[in-house]
Amino acid sequence: MGVFSGHWPSESELDKIRQKVAELSGRDAQEVRVVVSPYRICPLGAHIDHQGGTVSAMTINKGILLGFVPSNDTQVTLQSGQFNGEVRFRVDEVQVPKHMSETNGLTEQMDSSKTQEECKWGNYARGALYALQSRGNHLKTGITGFICGSEGLDSSGLSSSAAVGIAYLLAFESANGLVVCPTENIEYDRLIENEYLGLKNGILDQSAILLSSYGCLTCMNCKTINHKLIPSPKVQNNHEGELGNAYKILLAFSGLKQALTTNPGYNRRVAECQEAAKILLQASGNEEEEPVLSNVKPEIFEAHKSELEPSLAKRAEHYFSENERVLKGLEAWASGNLKEFGELITASGLSSIQNYECGCEPLIQLYEVLLKAPGVLGARFSGAGFRGCCLAFVDADRAEEAAIFVKDEYCKLQPELASHLDQGPAVLICDAGDSARVISNTFSLLNQ
């Protein structure tokens, strides 16, 4: 069970994936393009996006790599570093949403040579084609590609599904000479998740992956969908500026692969927030408004929170306090005040536990261990808080020391879960990342 850090993607990683694609396609390695699609973290803004709150996000220097070459025809051929099987389809095939094809009994009409495993991991590539087709793009060129995630990394809570979908979108667009802006690709990835796969998630993940910029926090108002980048003044004009060297991001893994069944579900929390909003809107004479907490003014909550059941009052308290923490955090970041920024992250984690009442015992223990680690500025869950990992911002000079401390202390508390981490790092030391992009040979083609 180790500690891992480093730059991403390294030249050796790029060379390895180029060589793999060259072998698959019979083409020269210099022809291979590589999509870099990073994972994201959400330092502040936990569990408020579904209520129209304001959230913050940034990418890290780990994620999805998709090496590919354009085909000489419409054929798509894909292999994966994590999954067995081979995905094969044509870009001139009409894609039907997965949940619709199953509902209408069309599953049997799909290529019978596909294994069950291929059906699962191939869906994002087919979904990307569906999204592009549904907006009038008629693709003529397929790809031969190889996709893999950062080695040994459990991506729970890091938005890996959005990173995969975006990787396929950028590859298809690159192969077909399509110029697509980031806001269009945010919509395309939403179509993959919401329409093709039938998932009920928002657009925070893909927005962070496509809009982030090194040294900046991406701020998004989930009610208006407006966003802005908040740079630190110390790194605006210098990629290796003071603040850029002042911190590292720790990802500490719990060993939990699935949510524990004893924990209340994500959907129930969303419903409780909506119920709280409905009662507060009725109390203020605004019952015609959509029942989400972003439609409730903070002063209305303060005036009427005594009318809420205790559990509903806690959910609303988390929303309003977290929204305020995001706004304060953006100010702290912009002024270079990492100490205050970290304290707000920790307070976010505590509110997630006490007011939103999410988190299982191992993750809460991991959160508490991180807060005791040397040099840690702040910590919270990454993701919903029922499995996966915790994130922390840490003084760069003490990152290695903190990582070792966390690994050792968590192992004492959860030896069985910690033993599950033998195949990957227990604690990952990361840097901030950049937006998703396509690398062709030695230069980047940013998806402007």
Say how far apart CA 432 and CA 160 lie, in whole Å. 16
Q: SS3 helix, strand, coil % of the chain, rounded to 5?
A: 45, 20, 35
Question: Is position 205 annotated as part of the catalytic site?
Answer: yes
Say how far apart CA 426 and CA 382 lie, in whole Å. 15
Would you state the structure tokens that stand for residue 99, as one six-digit string?
């949940």
Contact between residue 38 and residue 157 where contact means Cβ atoms under 8 Å apart: no
Residue 157: name the closest of 7, 39, 6, 268 by CA. 39
**Beta strands 443-446 and 437-440, pairing class:** antiparallel
433: left (phi over 0), alpha (psi -120 to 50) or beta: beta
Residue 320: name the closest of 47, 42, 41 by CA. 47
Given the residues 49, 154, 189, 205, the one annotated as active site: 205
DSSP 269-325: HHHHHHHHHHHHHHHTT-TTS-SSGGGS-HHHHHHHGGGS-HHHHHHHHHHHHHHHH
What phi and psi values does residue 147 have, to the nearest 5 degrees? -120, 140
Around Cβ 176, how many Cβ atoms within 10 Å?
17
Around Cβ 96, how many Cβ atoms within 10 Å?
16
Q: What angle do CA 11, 15, 19 make, to 5 degrees?
A: 175
Would you state the structure tokens that stand for residue 286, as one six-digit string?
């605004």
Contact between residue 166 and residue 83 where contact means Cβ atoms under 8 Å apart: no
Q: Cα–Cα distances in Å, from 194 out to 99, 146, 189, 198, 270? A: 10, 25, 8, 5, 17
Which residues are known to be catalytic?
205
